[in-house]
Amino acid sequence: MSASHPLVRIEPLAPQFSAVAHEWALRLGLPEGQGEAEFALQIGESGLQLQLLEAQAPGPVRVDFVEGAAAHRRQFGGGSGQMIAKAVGIQPGIRPRVLDATAGLGRDAFVLATLGCEVSLIERQPLIAALLEDGLSRASGDADVAAIAARMTLLKGNAIELMQQWQGETPQVIYLDPMFPHRDKSALVKKEMRLFRPFVGDDMDAPALLAAALELASHRVVVKRPRKAPAIEGSKPGYSLEGKSSRYDIYPKKKLQA
């Protein structure tokens, strides 16, 4: 399955957000108002959100690094004992520079930034990138998470091309979580998959993504997969860390040192 092109409109949730809605409409090339659409990118008190327009549709999806699940994980998530922390090589005195080349809603990147890593995020789908940009903007204005948001840099575009033309400091670790036909039963994941799969499809270019990451990363590449899914076609991982529903395939290149 590949991405399709659903009809999306921009709508302000109150009159005072009309000017901001107009700016996003111009930036994203989307129609404004109440025209025919399958989705609405809405602007209101809580920032930018994407809403499926159909009867019994789940609630909107937004990027929120300040409250909700992100806040709970930041406070009670297990710190550097989390499996993702071990996968990217976080240890006492070691906080690698990470490139999350498949950023999505930025959850994993936020966890790594919370733990002290400098994280660059790449998102190629313009609507998801807009939600991320809005979430980071709101986080940068919050006293509790501004310092974390400052460690996150959003890049927009095709991850393979951006990695092949990389400029600046080389990422020590590249993190990949390609879209996969997920079987995760959690309500949150199901809601988000229902919203985003029409836009992003499955990552059919995952082998090329892995190859580009292995070429660029100085120390290791980490790939998140559903626990029973096959490894990405191409180079074989050196080892894996397995959890209840997912696993991390690790492709080591060089030892991380403090």
Q: Mean pLDDT throughout 89-111?
A: 96
Specify whether the backbone of 98 is left (phi greater than 0), alpha (psi in -120 to 50) or beta: beta
144 is in an annotated binding site: no
Q: What is the Cα–Cα distance from 215 to 163, expressed in whole angstroms?
A: 9
Res 1 pLDDT > 50: no
Q: Mean pLDDT throughout 230-235?
A: 94
pLDDT of residue 31: 96
Express each pLDDT in 186-198 by its tens digit: 555 566 666 777 7
Q: What is the model's pTM?
A: 0.91
Res 45 pLDDT > 80: yes
192 sits in which H/E element? helix 187-200
- Closest CA relative to residue 139, chosen from 6, 51, 48, 24: 48
Pairing state between β 39-44 and 98-100: unpaired
Pairing state between β 220-226 and 173-176: parallel
107 is in an annotated binding site: yes
pLDDT of residue 187: 52
Q: DSSP of 4-62, one letter per residue?
A: ----EEEEESSGGGHHHHHHHHHHHT--BSS-S-SEEEEEETTEEEEEE-STTPPPPB-
In sequence order, what are the residues at sequence separation of 6 or more whose Cβ sits closer than 8 angstroms to the Cβ of residue 125?
3, 196, 199, 200
Structure tokens belonging to residue 181:
């036909």
Res 93 pLDDT > 80: yes
- Closest CA relative to residue 110, chosen from 75, 59, 81, 143: 75
Range 68-252 classified under CATH 3.40.50.150 = yes
Model confidence band, residue 72 (pLDDT cutoffs 50, 70, 90):
low
Q: What is the Cα–Cα distance from 135 to 106, expressed in whole angstroms?
A: 9
Mean pLDDT of the chain: 90
Domain residue ranges in the chain: 8-52, 68-252
Tell the residue number behind the tokens 């709508």, with chain if given: 11
Q: What is the Cα–Cα distance from 220 to 213, expressed in whole angstroms?
A: 9
74 is in an annotated binding site: no
pLDDT of residue 2: 41
220 is in an annotated binding site: no
3-class DSSP assignment, residue 139: helix
177 is in an annotated binding site: yes
Express each pLDDT in 165-221 by its tens digit: 999 999 999 999 987 655 555 555 566 666 777 777 666 789 999 999 999 999 999
